[in-house]
Structure formats: C-alpha cells, structure tokens
C-alpha cells in the first residue's frame, strides 16, 4: 500500500519548485529599490525602509519575509530587518557588489526566454534568438540593454575573481592574455595579485573602451588589444585566459576560438579555460543551473571534464589538469597537444 503522506509531500515539493521564480522576482525588486543600501547603517523596521524606498510598508514587509527564508535579510524579534552576508552583497557600494548582476540576470528578455523552454527543447535553438530575431550578442551590440548587461556581467564575474586569481600561479615576467576579457576586471585582479606579471586585455573595441585597468594608476604593465577572437588573438602570451567565454558558444565555435589561441601560443604557453565543470551524478551544482540559462540564451553550454578534453583535442591541445577555485568555476588547463 502506498504511503499517502510521502506522496502528498512530493506533490507539495513540486508546487514549491513551480513557484520558485518568486524568489528571483522578489530579489530583483529589492535590488532595484536599493533596500540593502538602506540597511548599511544598521537594522530598520519595514515602515522605515518603506519610507526610504518609496514603497508600501505591508508589501515591502511581505517581500522581505520571503527573502529572509533564503537567508537574504533577517527579521529579528522586534520586527526589524538586518543585512545578512547575502543581502550585504546587494549594497551598491559593497566590495564586488552583486546588485548589477542580480538586475541583469532577471531582465525581462531573460524572463521571456525562460517561458519558451518547450520551444528551445523542440527546436534545439536558443529561445532568445527565436523571440528577438537575432542572436544574443548581435542583439546586445545596439540594444539599450547593453549597458545593463555589461555592468551586470562585470559584477557577476567580479565575485569569483579573487578565488580564481589566487588558485593559479602566474610566474613573474609572464604575460597573461585575457581573451574576451570584457572590461578587464579579472586581469585587474591578476595584476594586483602578481606585481611581476604583464597583461593584455583582448575584446571587441567597444568593450575594451570601457576598461577598468587604469585603476592601477601609473602602472604600465597592461595594454589593450581590440579584436575578434574568431579571427585571431594576440600572439606571444604565456597564458591565454578564456573566462566565461567557451560556455557562450557551440562546440564548433569553441574549437575555432581554441585553435586561434593555439596558433598564438609559443612553446610553454597554456590555455586556461575558466568555466563551470559539470560533475557526474544527481547532486545540485551551480553549473547545472547556469547550463539552462545558456541553453535558453546562447548556443553554448556548461561542460564536463570529458567534454572539455574533447574540445581541446580538436584544437591540437591537451587537457593537463582541472583546478578547483573554491567558487562555482574551475580552471581547465590546456597545453600543446
């Protein structure tokens, strides 16, 4: 005879999963309203927060109570709300603030794409492209959403930069080429951590124009190299970093990028792919969640170690090791095949 209580609980769990998007929606709301900024000086009541953010007390209170169940904010016995480590990262002035990343990841074009999961699975194409008539990256070139995307990606990437930079040894005198390096947040971290290292920031011209490397002041250890990694990458580097790049592209496109890196390498050079490495089994992993995002938005995917090894082999590279970083991504190191 079936255990009815277990069946009922399974059904209730399923309903919780179906309502899970409410957490993301609530998180977006408080990020846009700057609620965390209002708690930087200490805990406040819902009424005080509502007055400061121009919201209705009861509605804000209900939203904060939901987020507190996930550890984002904490309500005390007196009904005041406190910052938690997660909520603190929503402050606009927090070191490595994730507020822009939260706003970017919950933009309307991504919500719309998520509603089209069946179409994506049927057609084998990103829902984003079917909805908006062009690829995600073509859309972003001239979109008014581009600033939100680039700010959000810089924020998203910055959270893991110290973990990644400290997980790999860059010898003094070496040159790090950050391929598709965006505004240079990771390269900035590497150069700060390694005073004897030089860096090259390589990305589209309109992207590198917004670089942050001048935060190093008079330091002249870096240079900008605008270009297209599907055409070529700068030669002569010791380390070619592809951080959050390969997961954007199909296997064929990844092999093209890797081959260009291989052509640019000198003896002893290495390719460092920084992406999630999907483990086997049924355990939760951030990479599995991110893989769904990739499937809906771009032609890429998150990959297993074996899949990275296959990509490397097709580009005359050999996967030499996978280095955990203490963050959701790993460093997949490739050497000449």
pLDDT in tens, 59-109: 999 999 999 999 999 999 999 999 999 999 999 999 889 999 999 999 999
pLDDT(293) > 80: yes
pLDDT at 159: 83
**pLDDT bucket at 7, cuts 50 / 70 / 90:** low
Residues catalogued as catalytic? 247
* Rounded Cα distance, 156 and 105, in Å: 9
Give the Å distances, CA to CA, from 65 to 20, 45, 69, 87, 317: 15, 12, 7, 13, 51
| In the block, residue with structure tokens 């070529």 | 232
Residues of the chain with pLDDT > 90, as a percent, come to 84
Residues of the chain with pLDDT > 70, as a percent, come to 98
pLDDT at 96: 83
- Could you say which of 3.30.390.30, 3.90.180.10, 3.40.30.10, 3.40.50.150 is the CATH number of the domain covering 160-336? 3.40.50.150
Work out the average pLDDT over 47-54.
Answer: 98
pLDDT at 2: 56
pLDDT digits (tens, 9 = 90+) for 156-177: 888 889 999 999 999 999 999 9
* Rounded Cα distance, 329 and 275, in Å: 5
Work out the average pLDDT over 202-206.
Answer: 93
**Spatial contact of 100 and 155, defined as CB atoms under 8 Å apart:** yes
The whole-chain average pLDDT of the chain stands at: 94
At residue 241, φ and ψ (nearest 5 deg) are: -95, 130
pLDDT at 1: 47
For the chain, the structural domain boundaries read 4-90, 160-336
Whole-prediction pTM value?
0.89
Class of domain 4-90: mainly alpha
Looking at the chain, how many residues does it have?
337
At residue 323, φ and ψ (nearest 5 deg) are: -115, 115
* Rounded Cα distance, 206 and 287, in Å: 29
Q: Taking each helix axis from N to C terminus, what angle separates 146-158 and 185-193, rounded to the nearest 10 degrees?
A: 30
- What are the DSSP calls for 246-304, one per residue? GGGS-HHHHHHHHHHHHHH--TT-EEEEEE-BPPSSSS--HHHHHHHHHHHHSS---B-
């Amino acid at each position: 005879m079936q255990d009815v209580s277990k069946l009922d609980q399974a059904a209730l769990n399923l309903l919780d999963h179906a309502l899970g998007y409410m957490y993301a929606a609530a998180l977006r709301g408080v990020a846009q309203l700057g609620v965390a900024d209002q708690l930087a000086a200490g805990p406040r009541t819902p009424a005080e927060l509502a007055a400061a953010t121009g919201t209705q007390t009861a509605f804000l209170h209900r939203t904060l109570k939901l987020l507190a169940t996930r550890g984002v904010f904490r309500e005390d016995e007196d009904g005041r709300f406190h910052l938690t480590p997660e909520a603190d990262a929503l402050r606009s002035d927090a070191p490595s603030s994730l507020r822009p990343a939260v706003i970017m990841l919950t933009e309307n074009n991504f919500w719309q794409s998520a509603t089209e999961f069946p179409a994506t699975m049927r057609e084998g194409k990103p829902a984003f492209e079917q909805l908006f008539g062009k690829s995600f990256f073509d859309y972003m070139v001239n979109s008014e959403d581009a600033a939100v995307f680039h700010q959000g990606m810089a924020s998203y990437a910055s959270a893991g930069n110290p973990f990644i930079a400290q997980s790999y040894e860059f010898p003094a005198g070496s040159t790090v080429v950050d391929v598709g390096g965006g505004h240079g947040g990771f390269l900035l971290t590497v150069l700060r951590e390694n005073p004897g290292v030089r860096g090259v920031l390589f990305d589209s011209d309109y992207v590198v124009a917004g670089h942050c490397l001048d935060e190093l002041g008079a330091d002249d250890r870096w240079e900008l190299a605008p270009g297209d990694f599907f055409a070529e990458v700068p030669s002569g580097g010791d380390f070619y970093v592809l951080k959050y790049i390969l997961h954007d592209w199909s296997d064929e496109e990844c092999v093209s990028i890797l081959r260009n890196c291989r052509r640019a390498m000198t003896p002893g050079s290495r390719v460092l792919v920084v992406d999630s490495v999907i483990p086997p089994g049924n355990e939760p992993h951030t990479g599995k969640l991110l893989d769904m995002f990739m499937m809906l938005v771009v032609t890429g995917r998150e990959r297993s170690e074996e899949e990275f090894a296959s990509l490397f082999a097709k580009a005359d590279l050999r996967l030499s090791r996978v280095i955990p970083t203490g963050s959701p991504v790993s460093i997949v190191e490739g050497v000449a095949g």
